[in-house]
Structure formats: C-alpha cells, structure tokens
Structure 1
Amino acid sequence: MQRRTLIRSSLAVGAAAVLPVAAQSTWPTGKAITYLVPFPPGGNTDTLARVIAQPLGQALGTPVVIENKGGAGGSVGSALAARAPADGYTILGGTISSHAINVSLYAKLDYDPIKSFTPVAMLGSGPLVLVVPASSPCKTLSDVLAASRAKAGAGGLSSASPGTGTSPHMAMELLAHQSGVKFTHVPYKGSGPAVQDVIGGQVDMMFDTTLIVGPHIQSGKLRPIAVTSSSRLESLPDVPTIAEAGQKGFDMGSWQAVFAPAGTPRPIVARLHAEIMKIVATPEVQARLKGFGMLPSAMTPAELGEYQKAEVAKWAQVVKAAGIKAE
C-alpha cells in the first residue's frame, strides 16, 4: 500500500514537472502578446515597437498588442512589466534610461533593471551628436571645452536636453565627468523646444539624435561638433567622434532593446529573439533604424545582459559624480 502511494506521488510530481514544458511547447496559444512601451506614443521606443509588433505577430501566429504606459523616464511601464507573469505573453521595450540610468537616478525604483528582467533582443543603438548654433564661434570639441572653462565661474556653457536623466543629458554629464569641464544643464519637456532654443542661441549647445538635429544640420541652422559613438556616422562622415576629438574612450549610444519578465522560459526567449532578429535584418527595418539614426544590433540575449550590466555600472559612476537626482 505504501509502495503504491509512493508511486502515485512520484507520478504526480513527474506530471507536474512536465506541465511547464508542455505549456512552453504550445506557446503561443493564440492569446495576444502585450508589448509594453514605457513611454508615451510617438517617441523612438513607441515607433520601434510599432515597426516590430505587426511582423512579430505574423511570425508567431498571434496578435502583438502595444500598450503605452509612460512616466518617470520609463520606470512606470517597466515596473508593470516586471510584475507581469513570466509566460511569454508580456514583453517590454527597454532603453538606456529605463534599464541602465534610472536605477541610479531615482531614490526608489519599483524594479531591478537586471534582476527583474530577462534580456531578449537588442534592437540598436543611436549615437548622439553634439551641436551648437550656427552663430557659435565654436568649431571643434576643443573650442567647446575651452569656452566652457572660460565661463566656469558662471557654470560653464549651457546645454539643453529633453529632460533630466535622458540620454542627451547623460551624454553632457559623461563629457563633463571625463573632461573635468563644467556645463550648466538646461532641461526641457522634450527635444522640440530644446533644439529651437539652441538654434535661437538662447542655449549654447546640446546633444541629441540625428533624427532630431539632422534636419537642422542640413539646413545650416546647427553646426555638428562631434558624435558620441566609437566610429563616425555614415550620414556625417566629416564629423569626428568625441574620442577622436580628444576624449579617448568616450563611447555612448541611446540604445533600444526588448526584455521579458525574469523567469520567462528559455525556449520562449530564444524564439522571441530569433523572430525579432529576423525582422530587424529585413531591408525595410534596417532602413527605418538608420532613419532614426540607429545602428542595428545582432547581440544575443546573453550579450545584451552583459552589456546592460556594464551600462548600469558606467552610469552609476556618472550620476554619482554629477550628483544628479530625478525631478
């Protein structure tokens, strides 16, 4: 009797162990996948999600529905994704802000950017361009640093950004950290008003993507000084990198990636990664990414995880050195 009870118990345990595997093998079942975007509609993260969602749904044979949950630099939507079931039916558009900077910027964060998520796919990284008004006397990075040193008593040159903790703001802080030169941060509510005030000369300079500053460079209203990537941009071949211009080791991109809640089964992550990479590799999406000023990526989930850890450590140093606090 006791032996039969033990056999029944063993069979029950075995069946329970098989259930998750069976569930994984049938994923997706036709249930919609929620693609959480932790920013309002219209921005880069939202636009990329809409580029990816439809073909991803077609490849998986199930709808992929975008849900925008903006707030606190991507923290609100990221926290929601972190609490979602790890069953493959929730994915998140994560960024340098939500998954590398915010953990040092905010005193309290309702998720851990590393422990709360499983990396799925890196979509790409968008270098930023340091620009000044066409009327500025600065022609090179050396000119910018010298001009800011000369105004050190007044806080240095002013630098616009779309907000505290955004990648343009952090690019300025990284340059200040590495060069030892002070700048005065001037935060705006978005890149639009920031770039207009730089064009008008009310602010001395700014960092932003080619999507934002590119048209104004072409029109002659802004002068490009340097790019934040480790190599020159195809669209701005005559503009040096910040590293080439004297700040060796400077390398920064405003990256976009896809994450899933921690514990999402590996076979599901592998399938999501494979399908997203196929989409990113298509000529249409490659063209869209380059149009955003982004360099497409082919990182594996493991490589994305290691890259993210390095980014968290890098920006923790910059935030601490600058004494930045979220607004």
Structure 2
Amino acid sequence: MRTLYQRTNTFDNTRRSILKYASGTVVAAALPSFAFAQSYPEKPSKILLGYSAGGTADTMLRLVAQQLTIEFGQPFVVENKPGASGNIAATQVARSPADGYSLLLGNTAEMAVNSSFMKHTGFDVEKDFAPVALVYDVPLALVVSAASPFKTLDDLIAAAKKPNSNITFASAGQGSPGHLAGEELARSMNASTSITHVPYKGAAPALVDVIAGHVTYYFSGVTAITQFVKSGQVRVLALSSQKRSRFMKDVPTIAELTGADFSFTLWGGVFAPAKTDRLIIEALNKKIGTAMAQPNIKAAMEREGSDANPMSPDEFSAFVKSESERYRLLVENLGIKPE
C-alpha cells in the first residue's frame, strides 16, 4: 500500500505535468497571433471613408495613406463610400475581419453623434471598433453674411433677445455637428422668440444662403469659409472650439466670450475592427504619428485649420468616449428624439 506521502507526491507530479502542458499549449496558440502581428502588413490595406472625395477628411486621409505606404512598404488604399452620414462605411469596417487590412477614417458624426441621433446605425462604436489614432481636429467658425449688422457675438445675442427677432441658422444637415452647435448657441442666447433651424443638403448650399443673407448664422468648418473671409463675403464672429486655434489666433471662442462649456469640432481618426491585435494597433498608431510629423502633412493640417495633437490608442479611445457622452447629453437636453 502506498503511503500518503507517495500518493501526494504522485498527484503533485501529475498536476505539474498538466500545468506544464497547458502552459505550453497557451504559448503555442499565442505564437501564430504574435508572428502575424509582427509581420503586418503583408498585403495592401484599405481605409474606408464615409464621405465623398475632396473634403478635409479625404484630403488628410490621402496624405496619411501615402505616408503609411512608404512607412510600411505595402499599399494603403483609400476608398470613399459616402452615405447615411458615414454609417455605410463604418458598418462595412465593423463587420470586416479584425486583421488590420480593413480600416476606417471615422469622423465626429458616425463615431460620436449618430448613435444618439439615430435609432439604428448598423454598428456600436464602443463594441465594434478599436480606436487607433486621431488624424485631424478642426474647429467650426460661427459666420454671418458680411452685409449683416452683426459685428460681434454680443451683437447677435442682443438681437436675439429683442421681440420678433426672426433669427435663423443654417446647417449642413440634420444631426451634423454644425446643427448641434447652432442649437446649443440658440439655447444659450435666451432669445425672445424661437430661433429656427434651416437644414441644407451639404455645406455648400448652406454657405451660399448665409452669404446671401437668407439665414442669419452658420457654423462652418474653417477651411470651407477661408476664401469667403478673404473676399469679404462672410464675417467670422467666433470659433466653436474650447481654445483658440493656433491658426486663427485673433478669433475668440464662444466659450471664451460667454464662459459657457461650448466645444464643437470636426475631428477624424483611424479605427480598426474590435479585437484587432494590440501590436497592430500600436504599429499603426506609431506610423500615423510619424506621418503627421512630415512637413507636407503639417502644412496641409495648417491649410485645413487642424489643431490635432498626437494621441496614444488609449488616449484616443478616451477622447471618443467623452465625445460620445457629451453629444448624448446634448441631444437629450435639447429634446431631440432619435429618428
């Protein structure tokens, strides 16, 4: 008969063997994933954008993609898939394999606003995406026609407080950051009568009617109004960002002028499908950071009025979450029902 010591020793030896085997199995299973991540990319990657070619997002993305192609030695191809306020492209990437070869240039609308403004987007930003890196961050400019009597934000607020003020504001579309910025400004002005929102199908027609004086004010991306400011057709009253833009240092912010917590910008960054290997996420973040430091891309950022600062994947993830929550509360406070 075996002693208690012998039985215990046999059990311990068996237990160690099982643990050793299990540990080896886990390591062996992890090796292919590690090797794959280390060799990434081995073929062309595509970056989808949910908007048409020619805008700020498209311009910045193509420059970054060109530099990523140089940095990685494999093509990074931009594909424009406009529609549904960016949701079509986002949905496609959310459903793609998490291998780093299908990426998204996600923007404010689809990554922070749409989930609060729409009942069905086709994806869940937090569950379906891994934030990689911020690419650009452009403030909105509060503009009025140069022919309007409003020289300052105070002039506009004073007019809104008068009876029968008939103040209106334009936006590039329902649920756009410009629309919500316009609504928030309207609410903060405590107007004597209701301020009317006039949505347009895009930024260009909205700006045309502002210049013509058909609507009172409009929050536009700064790039879109640069030439009209220079030609004397529009007047910039303030910026929507929390801090002054380093490219428009003489223009005050609404937050600065009113003391309100007012912050609306048009930002965009690279996202990968959820569960993409962390090594791939970090490699992309590092190379995008290198790309953003290139002189030609820095010059393009200045032309576009972007104030983006480099962020780690974790910092960008926290930024996206905070933006989503801020817009959720804003939509709720404004009483806007999801459609």
Match of 1:296 in 2: 308
| SS of equivalent to 1:138 | coil
1:286 equivalent in alignment to 2:267? no
Deviates further, 194-203 or 134-143: 134-143
Q: Report the RMSD for the aligned CA atoms in angstroms.
A: 2.2
Is the 1:177–1:318 Cα contact (8 Å) retained in structure 2? no
Match of 2:169 in 1: 159
1:175 to 171, 180, 185: 185
Q: What is the alpha-carbon distance in structure 2 between the residues aligned to residue 84 and residue 119 of structure 1?
A: 15
| SS of equivalent to 2:57 | helix
Match of 1:21 in 2: 34
| SS of equivalent to 2:315 | helix
The letter for the 2-side match of 1:246 is T
Alignment of 1:177-256 (within 5 A): 177-181=187-191, 182-256=194-268
1:40 to 39, 52, 55: 52
Q: How many residues align?
A: 321
Q: What is the alpha-carbon distance in structure 1 between the residues aligned to residue 68 and residue 331 of structure 2?
A: 36
Q: What is the alpha-carbon distance in structure 2 between the residues aligned to residue 283 and residue 169 of structure 1?
A: 34
**1:247–1:164 Cα change, 3 Å:** farther
Match of 2:127 in 1: 115
1:308 to 310, 313, 320: 320
Q: What is the alpha-carbon distance in structure 1 between the residues aligned to residue 338 and residue 169 of structure 2?
A: 17
Is the 2:247–2:302 Cα contact (8 Å) retained in structure 1? no
Cα displacement (A) at 1:100 = 0.5
Match of 2:281 in 1: 269
Larger gyration radius, structure 1 or structure 2: 2
| SS of equivalent to 1:159 | strand
| SS of equivalent to 2:127 | coil
1:321 equivalent in alignment to 2:325? no
**1:15–1:244 Cα change, 3 Å:** closer
Structure 1, residues 298-317: CA drift from partner, whole Å, max 9, x if none?
A: 11111111111111111112
**1:213–1:55 Cα change, 3 Å:** same
| SS of equivalent to 2:210 | helix
Cα displacement (A) at 1:183 = 2.6
| Runs of 5+ consecutive residues of structure 2 not aligned to the other structure | 1-13
The letter for the 2-side match of 1:173 is E
Cα displacement (A) at 1:11 = 5.8
Structure 1, residues 42-86: CA drift from partner, whole Å, max 9, x if none?
A: 222222211111110111111111112211111111111111111
1:139 equivalent in alignment to 2:124? no
**1:196–1:26 Cα change, 3 Å:** same
**1:10–1:288 Cα change, 3 Å:** closer
State the percentage of identical aligned residues: 38
Is the 2:160–2:189 Cα contact (8 Å) retained in structure 1? no
Q: What is the alpha-carbon distance in structure 2 between the residues aligned to residue 18 and residue 180 of structure 1?
A: 62
Q: What is the alpha-carbon distance in structure 2 between the residues aligned to residue 302 and residue 70 of structure 1?
A: 28
Q: What is the alpha-carbon distance in structure 2 between the residues aligned to residue 91 and residue 250 of structure 1?
A: 31
The letter for the 2-side match of 1:208 is S
**TM-score when normalising by structure 2:** 0.88
Is the 2:161–2:190 Cα contact (8 Å) retained in structure 1? no
Q: What is the alpha-carbon distance in structure 2 between the residues aligned to residue 316 and residue 268 of structure 1?
A: 31
Q: What is the alpha-carbon distance in structure 2 between the residues aligned to residue 16 and residue 235 of structure 1?
A: 51
Cα displacement (A) at 1:230 = 2.5
**TM-score when normalising by structure 1:** 0.91
1:102 equivalent in alignment to 2:141? no
Q: What is the alpha-carbon distance in structure 1 between the residues aligned to residue 32 and residue 108 of structure 2?
A: 36
Match of 2:5 in 1: none
Q: What is the alpha-carbon distance in structure 2 between the residues aligned to residue 176 and residue 11 of structure 1?
A: 63
Q: What is the alpha-carbon distance in structure 2 between the residues aligned to residue 101 and residue 225 of structure 1?
A: 25
Match of 1:59 in 2: 71
Cα displacement (A) at 1:180 = 4.3
| Runs of 5+ consecutive residues of structure 1 not aligned to the other structure | none
**1:238–1:12 Cα change, 3 Å:** closer
